[in-house]
Structure 1
Amino acid sequence: MQMRSELAAVGVLPLIGTGVLLVATGATDGFTAFVAGCAVGAAALFAAPYTFWLRVDEEGVTLVRCLVRRRFGWAEIDGLAVTFGREEETDGHFVVLRLRLADPPGRVAGPMVGKFGVTDEDTPSGVPPRAMAELFAVFGERGLPVEEAEFANEVLRVRGLPLLPPLRVWAEPAEGVPEPERAYADAPGIEEESAALPGHRKRPPQRYRREHLLRRAALADRVFLRDGDGLALGIALSAAEELVRYDLITVEGDQRRYVRQQYLSWRTLNR
């Protein structure tokens, strides 16, 4: 579950280098040098931080890295996080897959389960790796949401596998969506929250990203309710859409209703 070029560099180069060095110095014969090189290459492979084995079955996901085994049952998994990135040294683009865990609450991203090369436009490069396509397919079969569904579906299409199911539609609570006055009744003042959010953004993004998006969307909604101008409305709608996209759901109508309901629930749980 790692880019082949990185695995080759980790395992093959130490093997070759060790063998050549031993033979050149006359320290041993060719066979012994080959065995020693294999041992060094294997040690380097096990030490690589992003080299691991992944198994997916009916019970859940098993991840083995540096001989340490971690097991995640399906009940612990809330979906699959998909993040694009770029290597500074080579300018190569890649996609990283991480588990989205159900506990603790807030859709915390868990360990990395895959890293693959992509094009400069963050689209699948050539024929996507079978392992990536099968991982998307398993999550789709189990009805677990996958971020960047358009990218995932293109990988599945090229590999001839079923596409992901559509995102679930948010259902309003039976008691209805809270009015802004109730949703934001005990929220910090707008100026106080505005000052706190930049610092909040500096926290580890994988753990606090969802909380930040929720607070930012609620703040933007409150600013519009106070000021009532068109620019503030655009910012509020954009922030609400970003939260909805992160939560991998579909909200019909004004997405700020979802922000208000989620913010009230979050404040109730964190008092």
Structure 2
Amino acid sequence: MVRLWFMQQRGELAGVGSVLGLVVAVALAGTGTVGGGAAFLVMAAIVAVAAFGAPHAYWLRADGEGLTLVRLLVPRRYAWADVRGLAMELGRDEENDTHHLTLRLRLAEPPGRFWGPRLGRIHVTEEDAPEGVPPRALAELFAVFVEHELPVDLPEFANEVLRVRGLPQLPPLPLWTPPADGAPAPELAYADAPDIEEERRDLVALGRTVKRRVRLSREYLVRRAALADRVFLRDGDGLALGIALAEAERLVEHDRIRVEGDQRHYVRRQYLSLRALSA
């Protein structure tokens, strides 16, 4: 069992307790059950319980069937078939100039965005690296995803945490190389592609659908990357090239592979395969 209470901010939990305590105090004082001073003490006690007791009721348990996330004593079950990986998002708090890492489950069919419930937030260094000796629970969380061969968004960060704690590293990403006949030329890859402006309009519509249906996300990424590549081939300017390379990298990261050389070769091969499947 992986306990993640250390990643919950006590201030957030105390805020929940403050609201509950205030409601109880007002109710007690309003009914005349206790005096104002006693009602304040009741509220303070509720806040203390929420701040110090609630974190220990937050944990994650993994077994052969899936993950069970318990937050404030309420369990939620996620089957392994619905877990796509671990979403890791780096950020910076402008008020106190600290850096942090937010972790969420990435689900196959999440409501709205491409991830699921938040597992917690931890502080990181200014270089977005693990701060000090990483907690054992964080390493165990990464180890769970290693064991079930599920990807994490920041493998270098995860591997450093696993290394410090002496746990097995994430498996290396598979290497994609062009087939023996070489990467398809743009003329072949995009031979029957729709008009650029027509494709742009279709992608806008598909983008709205992707937000609700994750299984369409790869088609969306392939077509976006191919469109950006085609725009560069048409216009030939530096900005278009930067966009094309960035979109190609997004697809490569989504597919969890490594590509040597120009990643647009991978985009062209995947676009050609996509068109063949939809023909």
| TM superposition score normalised by structure 1 | 0.70
Identity score, percent: 57
CA–CA distance in structure 2, aligned partners of residues 45 and 194 of structure 1? 52
- Report the 3-state secondary structure (helix = DSSP H, G, I; strand = E; otherwise coil) of the residue aligned with 1:110: coil
Considering only aligned residues, what root-mean-square deviation do their CA atoms show, in Å?
Answer: 4.6
Aligned CA distance change for structure 1 residues 188 and 152 (closer, same or farther; 3 Å): same
Cα distance in structure 2, aligned partners of 1:206 and 1:112? 20
Change over 3 Å in CA distance of 1:4–1:101 after alignment to 2:
closer
Say if 1:210 and 1:65 are closer, same or farther in 2 by CA, change over 3 A. farther
**Correspondent of 1:7 among 5, 10, 19:** 10
Does 2:80 correspond to 1:71? no
Q: Give the CA deviation at 1:244.
A: 0.9
Instruction: Return the offset for 1:169.
Output: 2.8
1:160-212 Cα deviation digits (max 9, x unpaired): 22221111234779999766456445644323455777898899699697666
Q: Deviations over 1:90-142 (max 9, x none)?
A: 332211122233458xx942322232111222111111122211111221233
Contact 1:169 1:251 in 2 (8 A): yes
- The answer to whether residue 44 in structure 2 is matched with residue 27 in structure 1 is no
Following superposition, the deviation at residue 59 of structure 1 comes to: 2.3
Q: What is the deviation of 1:70?
A: 2.4
Tell me if the contact between 1:96 and 1:112 (Cα under 8 Å) persists in the aligned partners. yes
| Structure 2 Cα separation of the partners of residues 110 and 175 of structure 1 | 41
Q: SS of the counterpart of 1:27?
A: helix
2:87–2:115 Cα contact (<8 Å) kept: yes
Aligned residue runs from structure 1 range 35-74, under 5 A: 37-38=45-46, 41-42=49-50, 52-74=58-80
Deviations 1:138-163 (A, max 9, x none): 21233222221111111112222222
The change in CA–CA distance for 1:28 and 1:257 in structure 2 (over 3 A counts) is closer
| Pair 1:181–1:71, CA change in 2 (3 A) | farther
CA contact (8 A) 1:63 1:70 kept: yes
1:256: which partner in 2? 264
> What residue in structure 1 maps to residue 131 of structure 2?
125
Please say if residues 99 and 112 of structure 1, whose CA atoms lie closer than 8 Å, have aligned partners that are also in contact: yes
Task: State the aligned residue count.
Answer: 262
| Counterpart position of 2:232 | 224
What runs of 5+ residues in structure 2 fail to find an aligned partner? none
Is the CA contact (8 Å cut-off) linking 1:7 and 1:45 kept in structure 2?
Answer: no
What is aligned with 2:252? 244
Partner-residue secondary structure (3-state), 1:109: coil
The aligned counterpart of 2:93 is 87
Q: Is the 8 A contact 1:14 1:37 kept in 2?
A: no
Distance change (3 Å), C-alpha of 1:240 and 1:10: same
Q: How many Å apart are 1:10 and its aligned residue?
A: 2.4
Structure 1: gaps spanning 5 or more residues:
none
Q: How does 1:141-152 map to 2 (within 5 A)?
A: 141-152=147-158
Q: Structure 1 residues 70, 239: CA separation in 2 closer, same or farther (over 3 Å shift)?
A: same
Q: Is the 8 A contact 1:10 1:45 kept in 2?
A: no
- Evaluate the alpha carbon distance shift between residue 24 and residue 170 of structure 1 in structure 2; reply closer, same or farther with a 3 A threshold: farther
What is the correspondence of 1:150-189 to structure 2 with a 5 Å cutoff?
150-170=156-176, 180-181=186-187, 183-184=189-190, 187-189=193-195
Shift in Å, 1:28: 7.5
Q: CA deviation at 1:41?
A: 3.6
Q: TM-score normalised to the size of structure 2?
A: 0.68
Contact 2:5 / 2:59 at 8 angstroms: preserved in 1? Answer: no
